[in-house]
Chains A and B, each alone.
Chain A
Amino acid sequence: MSLLQIDNMTHYFGGLRAVHNYDLAIKPGQIRGLIGPNGAGKTTIFNLITGLYRPTEGKIYLEDNELNGRSPHEIASLGIGRTFQNMLLWRHMTVLEHVKMARYSRLTYGLVGAFFGTPRRQREEAESEEKAYQLLKMMRVDQFADLIVLNLPYGAQRRVEMARALAMEPKVLFLDEPTAGMNPEELVQMMEIIRNVHNDFGLAIFIIEHRMKVVMELCEQIQTLVFGEVIAEGTPKEIQNNPKVIDAYLGKEVVE
């Protein structure tokens, strides 16, 4: 059985059909890629699944839970973690606070704990701090823990965002162009991190990416999206050799 299942999802922005009859099935522990030219609707698909938009048609299931009509924070607590294309970080918060915040839905101390600083709150906050430090160490940004996040170098900010998404302990991790704007060195680091995350947590990962190198090396299955429709689906090899994909997206240089 697949972990995340989408059947026939269609979405309109007014009269514009942004996504058409989109199907997806992610198995546990699978890395999947979604590629396509600018404006093809990749991020729209992420936003539809994570509840920021509501699909006009179609059903989305995470395990046995139907996600349609749920609010974004509910969907997130059910187990979909994500990063954003343009890194939505909180500008006045420290790195550690970022990662702790993602454990919001796991805190049970409630308002009484928040107001009076009960022992239960101290315990839970300490626990989540420990978890946060583990993740920061894994992303090699623990030395920045008490800094305001905007003062970090770009690559480190990306890794903080990744740590934040992982702190939710998601079942599926959505990465929206995780290597956008990175230099080759940072790119290699990021790919290694994604691989480590996949191996250590056995996570299913769903990646939107522009750089062929990343998708081709990481993903088991790739979909190619053009104007909201999937025109090809398969292993990296198959996608690379698919004439439709080459026409629409890859261009001549890759064929050589």
Chain B
Amino acid sequence: MEATSEKLSNIASLSIISIRAFVSQVPLLGWLLGAFIAVMLEMIIGTPLARGMGLPKIPVLFGILIMLKKPLLIPSAVFYGILIYVLPIGCIARLSAKSINRLVGKLLDYPMILSVLIHLGLLYAIFHLWSGMSDYRLLVLKLTLIAIMITLSLNIINGYMGEFSCSHPGFLALGAYAASVFTLVLFVDDRIFGAAWLPKAIGPFFFPIALIIGGLVAAIGALAVAIPSFRTRGDYLAIISLAFMFIVKSLIENLEVVGGPRGLGNQPDWANLPVVFGSTVLCVWIINNFVRSTLGKALNAVRDNEMAANAMTVNTRRTKITAFLFAAFWAGVAGGLFAHVLRYVNPSTFGITKLAEVLAMVYFGGLNSVYGAIVGACGISLMGEALRPLELYKWIIIPLLLILVMIFRPTGLIAFREFDVKKLIQPKKGHLNA
């Protein structure tokens, strides 16, 4: 018995090592290429393959939904996943590793922006094809991308600055309503706001302005939280920001001009995938730039020891307020996108449930880290969708997972890691590549 178990654990550790070795040689571009081809494959043979294996249609979220709904279909869903995703991605990534490594190395001779654009372009193509196969996928993808923006912006306050802010749903609401009102008044014949002022055709060009207005309104709201609460440290911000969230919610509920508790609908359909993807990339880029500069690092200094930061010439008050407004701005932009993706908002969306969700994303993914924000946002929102068939049990499983993460990694899965684009896209040298 012992001998067999030892053998088994040997095999297990060997396979882990070989998977590591395998993974460590493949550059990011290789994975993207594999994913791209897998998605192409799904587009071409996905439907007949799924039918042939007894699945009603292409499994939308990697088969998890089907597995949970009809346990009998688990084998075919797993088989489908392996055939369409795991095998093609693995094979292509492995086989092309050498040549792609060389290609990526050559690309780095040119300005880095070129490699970055190639990676982003390929990533967008994957998203586009993948989400093109079902409307449900498209919606999940857009909401996940928006969740990344929200999580990242909240991570500035709760992670990089080390304060505990609860006002993010409030900022989202302000952004969502401000952007909606802007587009509805100007470009839509609406029952509340009357006839459109401008032709709808030029609307999409004004959409970025609507988003920026949403962000600015959220930032102005943030000022109301920041001024009283940043005089001191500690729990004040948590309490004031929580109050702010409720104030915004009940304010909107009582403003009949924007529909009151019934909400605001009929937003134009401008938040398509390119727009959402572009905004998310821009958001990640700008926030990552900020937190890696000395001005952004000052947030860490304030968090770790404010007195020392002050004595080292850091204007701590200005630093905190700027970062808070900056975070609120991005939350507002995300709110504007959110409203135009769903094309309907109502105040009850931006309550304590939303707060729990965004806080879970931040603390699950990891504090003080852009990777962490991305992982947390994707993880929680995909899990939230995938576990939907479990209905109520979903709200047992996800919190349980959070508790486990908090026990074993108190700062989150990927905390305190710098997001270095250059490291991400450079060629990989595995230890077995000799």
Contacts and interface: CB of A to CB of B under 8 A. Distances in A.
Interface of A: 50, 52, 71-73, 76-77, 82, 84, 88-93, 97, 100-105, 107, 109, 111, 113-117, 121, 125, 128, 164-165, 168
A70 to B, nearest CB: 11
B294 A52 contact: no
A101 B298 contact: yes
B300 A105 contact: no
Contacts of A105: 313-315
Contacts of B315: 73, 104-105
B308 A107 contact: no
B322 interface: yes
Given A116-B289, A117-B289, A164-B312, A93 B294 contact: no
Interface string B114-141: 0000000000000000000000000000
B241 interface: no
Interface residues of B, number: 27
Q: Classify the interface of chain B: helix, strand, loop or mixed.
A: helix
Contact of A88 (B286, B300, B305, B313): B305
Nearest to A121: B293
Contact of A73 (B286, B290, B310): B310
A106 to B, nearest CB: 8
A104 B294 contact: yes
A90 B300 contact: yes
Contacts of A116: 286, 289
B296 A114 contact: yes
B323 to A, nearest CB: 10
Given A100-B297, A113-B293, A128-B294, A93 B304 contact: yes
B301 interface: yes
Given A104-B312, A116-B286, A91 B304 contact: yes
B308 A89 contact: yes
Given A100-B294, A116-B286, A168 B301 contact: no
B286 A93 contact: no
B227 interface: no
Given A72-B311, A73-B313, A168-B313, A104 B298 contact: yes
Contacts of A82: 311
Contacts of A102: 312-313
A109 B293 CA distance: 10
Interface in B277-298: 286, 289-290, 293-298
Nearest to B289: A117
A104 B305 contact: no
